[in-house]
Amino acid sequence: MIEYSKAVEIILNSTKTLGLEKVFLDRALGRVLAEDIHADRDNPPADNSGMDGFAVRYEDIKGASEENPAVLEIIAESKAGGELVKVRPKTAAYIYTGGLIPEGADTVVQKELTKVEDNKVFIFQELPKGSNIRPQGGDYRKEDLLIKKGKKLRPAEIGILSSVNKPTVYVYQKPRVAILTTGDEILDVGEPVEKLSQIRTSNTYSLYSQVLEAGGEPVVIGFAKDNPEDIQKKLEYAKSCDILLTTGGVSVGEYDLVKDFVVKVLGVEILFWKVKQKPGKPVAFGVWGREKEKLFFGIPGNPVAAMVVFENMVKPAIRKMSGEEKVFNPVINAKLKGGYKRKKGERVEFIRVSLSLTDDGFVAQPFGKQGSNILTGMVYAHGFGIVDVGVTEIKDGETIKVSVFDKSFMDGRYGD
């Protein structure tokens, strides 16, 4: 039995970032960039107009006023995507936002400050030279570093990738995560109940969804009965995956064959079994594969314990494999409403709380039933309040650290 912090350290030290793959931009959102992105040309590529109006020579509008306007002949037009035109002394060009600054022009006068009559523009005001011009390279220069390797791609970065003509981009591969559910009593969804003792799975598909959320590729390799042949057969299906999660089968009962079989079938080297935490004590962790680059997590069958173990231990490993730097859920300080007491302080305890963000900061509200088998108590939870080793009471209004697995409590309601 090891300390929680030691367990997390062992897991992350055993986890290696995967190789690279090229993906199209429509699949790149949320992936971690594995190459530096440089500008393919200046942006803007040439001087252009920030306004609709007239491109002129500053010399020609110098001293212009209401009483004594500059009067220039309109001889050309420059629109976004158009050709490069020219202006000569005493002439002007119509120009539209994004239009190239004509050869000879150095200033743009916005439409609002002008009047047009008989193909002549009247300009009633002098503007500083260079007004309303977006200069070539004003945003960035060709070869500039725009996005650094390691950045998790969001919409802004996808936009930049397309603007520098990268329809495909190198990102880190996603781990394939095999999910094996064990136990004679477990039914898959859709299977008929034949005995009172049978339980329909929740872990298989909550883990499936957690793997998706964490950025992995879930692979449900199925359900194994508590017999050697079935476990062995199903474990073979895990060989093509990067991580194996088993759920059930790691407590002390004599029917718990899984841990022995992952050693035998996959060559798993167990690095720890049992962690000083509540819930989730009977968790096993190991490494396997030719270079011990693959991971095994034996997750308790208890639905809430399974969630805790996934969020705190499996998710950081998936994120590290996927190239992410920030692998842990946020840990915030919140005021604990109603307080929390327990008898023993030997293990770190994770208690389900709902969260709200008030003018006074974060507020955490624990649930009545904290039994680890009561998954329905998760429905209104946003995080796990952390009751540290040695702590047996946190009083009403005192601060509790909360590991947040659902940040949506912060979102705004229509009408707020």
Within residues 188-227, the interface with a second copy by CB under 8 A covers 189-190, 193, 195-210, 212-213, 226
- Give the footprint of a second copy on residues 247-266 (CB under 8 A): 251-255
Interaction between residue 411 and a second copy (CB under 8 A): yes
Interaction between residue 303 and a second copy (CB under 8 A): yes
- Give the footprint of a second copy on residues 327-366 (CB under 8 A): 327-333, 357, 359, 361
Q: What angle do CA 281, 17, 219 make, to 5 degrees?
A: 65
Q: How far apart are CA 63 and CA 125, in angstroms?
A: 7
Please identify which residue in the block is written with the tokens 């598909």.
Answer: 205
Residue 223 vs 296, nearer CB to a second copy? 223
Dihedral sign, Cα of residue 344, residue 314, residue 308, residue 251 = negative
Cα separation values, 230 from 204, 237, 247, 258, Å: 17, 11, 15, 11
Pairing label, strands 331-336, 361-366:
parallel
Looking at 63, 68, 229, 408, which residue binds a second copy (CB under 8 A)?
408
- Give the footprint of a second copy on residues 139-198 (CB under 8 A): 139-140, 146-147, 151-152, 154-167, 183-186, 189-190, 193, 195-198
285: tokens are: 């962790």
Taking the complex as a whole, how short is the minimal distance between the CB of residue 208 and a second copy, in angstroms?
Answer: 7
Task: Select the span of 61-69, 271-279, 318-326, 390-398 touching a second copy (CB under 8 A).
Answer: 318-326
Nearest Cα to Cα of residue 279 among 367, 374, 390: 374
Buried b (16+ CB within 10 A) or exposed e, 119-157: eebebbebbeeebbbbebbeebeeeeebbeeebbbeeeb
Taking the complex as a whole, how short is the minimal distance between the CB of residue 162 and a second copy, in angstroms?
Answer: 4
Q: How far apart are CA 110 and CA 95, in angstroms?
A: 9
Burial class (CB in 10 A: 0-12, 13-18, 19+), 19: exposed
Task: Select the span of 42-50, 67-75, 117-125, 263-271 touching a second copy (CB under 8 A).
Answer: 42-50
Burial class (CB in 10 A: 0-12, 13-18, 19+), 89: exposed
Task: Select the span of 74-82, 122-130, 227-235, 265-273 touching a second copy (CB under 8 A).
Answer: 74-82
* Length, in residues, of the chain: 416
Looking at 4, 10, 32, 48, which residue binds a second copy (CB under 8 A)?
48
Residue 91 vs 201, nearer CB to a second copy? 201
Looking at 46, 115, 240, 393, which residue binds a second copy (CB under 8 A)?
46
Taking the complex as a whole, how short is the minimal distance between the CB of residue 123 and a second copy, in angstroms?
Answer: 18
Task: Select the span of 48-56, 118-126, 287-295, 387-395 touching a second copy (CB under 8 A).
Answer: 48-56
Taking the complex as a whole, how short is the minimal distance between the CB of residue 349 and a second copy, in angstroms?
Answer: 18
Looking at 26, 67, 118, 229, which residue binds a second copy (CB under 8 A)?
26
Q: How far apart are CA 233 and CA 226, in angstroms?
A: 12
Task: Select the span of 62-70, 116-124, 284-292, 300-308 touching a second copy (CB under 8 A).
Answer: 300-308
Interaction between residue 116 and a second copy (CB under 8 A): no
**Residue 128, C-beta contacts closer than 8 angstroms, at least 6 positions apart:** 107
* Total of chain residues touching a second copy, rule CB under 8 A: 109
Residue 117 vs 416, nearer CB to a second copy? 416
Q: How far apart are CA 158 and CA 156, in angstroms?
A: 5
Interaction between residue 290 and a second copy (CB under 8 A): no
Taking the complex as a whole, how short is the minimal distance between the CB of residue 63 and a second copy, in angstroms?
Answer: 25
216: tokens are: 């992995």
Interaction between residue 1 and a second copy (CB under 8 A): no
Q: How far apart are CA 287 and CA 297, in angstroms?
A: 9
Interaction between residue 60 and a second copy (CB under 8 A): no
